[in-house]
Amino acid sequence: MKHGPINLRHLLALCRKESYQIVRDPSSILIAFVLPVLLLFIFGYGINLDTSKVRLGVVLEDQGIEARRFADVLKGSPFLEVEMGTGNGNSRTAMQQQLQEGKVRGMLVIGSDFSSRVRSHRGVASLQLLTDGAEPNTANFLYSYLQGCLQVWQQQRATDQGLPVQTFSTLEPRYWFNPTTVSRNFLVPGSISVIMTVIGALLTSLVVAREWERGTMEALLSTSVTKTELLLSKILPYYVLGMVAMTLCVLVTTMLLDVPLHGSFWILFIVSSLFLGSGLGLGLFLSTVTRNQFVAAQTALIAAFLPATMLSGFVFEIASMPIVIQGVSYLIPARYFVSALQTLFQAGDIWHIILINSAFLLASALFWLGLTALKTARRLDD
């Protein structure tokens, strides 16, 4: 029987078949619904780039008033959990031991001449800070926290002594879009891109290859199914699955993880659709070309999942990457999606950012889906 590129009955029958396969395969349900929630909680609670309270060991060799006052400032800091060396523990070697064992993240030595130097204005009263350079993030945090404490202590001292506080200007930071600089607020939206990549590329990389491996493709090709029907029947069910998973992600993000969504849900929906289109396209392309589930899944992992985590700017800032890698990141659709996601969640509907990113996502989706259409066989030797 001759018909156009799409016969609705064929398409529906194929979509229904695909849906049964999704629903009956526990692994696809696991990937689509359990994995996203799990990942969201890991990114939401497990990974936290803010070091909320750092344990600092203090070796107080000087019992003078200045030294003790400084120690009190340290104890009062909301960012530090101060562990004062006491008794035998109050020695450099004992504290070093603690640092090596990871019980404290840094140690501060207040030398025995600290108070006297401060009082007598003999030279500079220096303090020694030892931190674990293997964790540069924490080390840097600790350094800036201590700088802050030092400033507070100097101000207090000046006020106590009735001296004018010698500050020429102060920096008043205001963190826009994420006023409390909670890393969860940008990590969690970013992680949605990873989840969508997993569903889009990883899941679909299996589906066409599976038909080849099980011999079902050969049987389908001998019926009057057209290329368009075949392709659409792979895209539509997985698109629906992906969008349901996306909605689930947004609900978990906003309601359970308390990450605010400033932009419109519908724009988020459209942007996600575009990204999913690109992911589905890539997954189907790999599946179509390799005709082998294992190879397709491995390639999808390397071509989609890893770049989406590492080069999308969702954890690692693109601006601080080497220039070549920055160039490469322009080829990663997840980059545009992460940018759009972070904008939508934290800033709202900033049109020019959304539109530019959407344009790139659309281009990527068209590219991969087009390539898949080109490579979809209607014969075994195509």
Partner 1 sequence: MTPNPPSGAISIADLHHQFDGRPALSGISTAIQRGKITGLVGPDGSGKTTLIRLIAGLLKATSGTIKVENLDPIANASQLRGQLGYMPQKFGLYEDLTVQENLNLYADLCDLTGTARNESFKKLLTFTDLARFTGRPAGKLSGGMKQKLGLACTLLGSPKVLLLDEPSVGVDPISRRELWKMVGALAHDGITVIWSTSYLDEAELCDEVLLMSEGLLKFNGAPQEIINTMRGRSIQLRELGTNKRAVLKTALHCPEIIDGVIQGHALRLVLKTAGVLPDLASLNAGPNAHFVEVKPCLEDAFIDILGGGPGGTSVLAEHMPIARLAPDIDPDSVIEATQLTRVFGDFTATDHVDFKVKRGEIFGLLGPNGAGKSTTFKMMCGLLRPTSGQAKVMGIDLKTSASQARAQLGYMAQKFALYGNLSVDQNLQFFSGIYGLRGKAQQEMVNDMVRVFNLEPYLNTQAVTLPLGFKQRLALSCAVMHHPPILFLDEPTSGVDPITRREFWTHINGLVEKGVTVMVTTHFMDEAEYCDRIALIYRARTIAAGTPDALKLMASKEGETDITMEETFIRLVERDDSERKVAA
Coil, strand or helix: which one is 180?
A: coil
Binders in 175-204 for partner 1, by CB under 8 A: none
d(CA 87, CA 367): 69
Name the nearest CA neighbour of 104 among 60, 53, 55: 55
Nearer of residues 123 and 215 to partner 1, judged by Cβ: 215
Query: For partner 1, how many residues bind (rule: CB under 8 A)?
Result: 31
Which position among 46, 215, 266, 302 is part of the footprint of partner 1 (CB under 8 A)? 215
Coil, strand or helix: which one is 53?
A: coil
Q: Is 4 in the site for partner 1 (CB under 8 A)?
A: no
Q: Is 126 in the site for partner 1 (CB under 8 A)?
A: no
Rg of the chain (C-alpha set): 29
Which position among 12, 240, 325, 328 is part of the footprint of partner 1 (CB under 8 A)? 12
Segment contacting partner 1 by CB under 8 A, of 16-24, 190-198, 239-247, 321-329: 16-24
Nearer of residues 206 and 249 to partner 1, judged by Cβ: 206
Which residues neighbour 354 within 8 Å (Cβ) at sequence distance 6 or greater?
263, 267, 271, 340, 343, 344
Name the nearest CA neighbour of 344 among 278, 279, 249: 249
Segment contacting partner 1 by CB under 8 A, of 71-79, 207-215, 322-330, 368-376: 207-215
Segment contacting partner 1 by CB under 8 A, of 12-20, 99-107, 133-141, 269-277: 12-20
Which position among 13, 29, 37, 301 is part of the footprint of partner 1 (CB under 8 A)? 13
Which position among 47, 91, 151, 218 is part of the footprint of partner 1 (CB under 8 A)? 218
Nearer of residues 185 and 293 to partner 1, judged by Cβ: 293
Q: How far is the CB of 288 from partner 1 (least distance, A)?
A: 16
Q: Is 214 in the site for partner 1 (CB under 8 A)?
A: yes
d(CA 151, CA 146): 9
Q: How far is the CB of 293 from partner 1 (least distance, A)?
A: 14
∠ CA 26-295-286, nearest 5°, is: 90
Name the nearest CA neighbour of 81 among 100, 65, 98: 98
DSSP code, position 303:
I
Asked whether the CA dihedral 8, 11, 17, 20 is positive or negative, the reply is negative
Q: Are 268 and 344 in contact (CB under 8 A)?
A: yes
Dihedral, 191, 192, 198, 201 alpha carbons, nearest 10: -120
Nearer of residues 357 and 376 to partner 1, judged by Cβ: 376
Segment contacting partner 1 by CB under 8 A, of 8-16, 150-158, 238-246, 265-273: 8-16
Site string for partner 1, 353-382 (x = CB under 8 A): -------------------------xxxx-
Binders in 17-46 for partner 1, by CB under 8 A: 17, 20-21, 24-25
Token pair of 369, please?
């889906």
Q: Are 380 and 221 in contact (CB under 8 A)?
A: yes
Residue position matching structure tokens 């909605």: 247
Q: How far is the CB of 290 from partner 1 (least distance, A)?
A: 16
Nearer of residues 24 and 352 to partner 1, judged by Cβ: 24
d(CA 307, CA 287): 19
Residue position matching structure tokens 């989609």: 304
Which position among 9, 122, 262, 375 is part of the footprint of partner 1 (CB under 8 A)? 9
Nearer of residues 100 and 216 to partner 1, judged by Cβ: 216
Which position among 84, 129, 221, 295 is part of the footprint of partner 1 (CB under 8 A)? 221
Q: How far is the CB of 24 from partner 1 (least distance, A)?
A: 4
Token pair of 180, please?
């409390």
Beta strands in the chain (DSSP E): 54-60, 80-84, 106-110, 128-131
Q: How far is the CB of 15 from partner 1 (least distance, A)?
A: 11
∠ CA 171-183-341, nearest 5°, is: 110
Interface contacts to partner 1, rule CB under 8 A: 1-2, 7, 9-10, 12-14, 16-17, 20-21, 24-25, 211, 214-225, 378-381
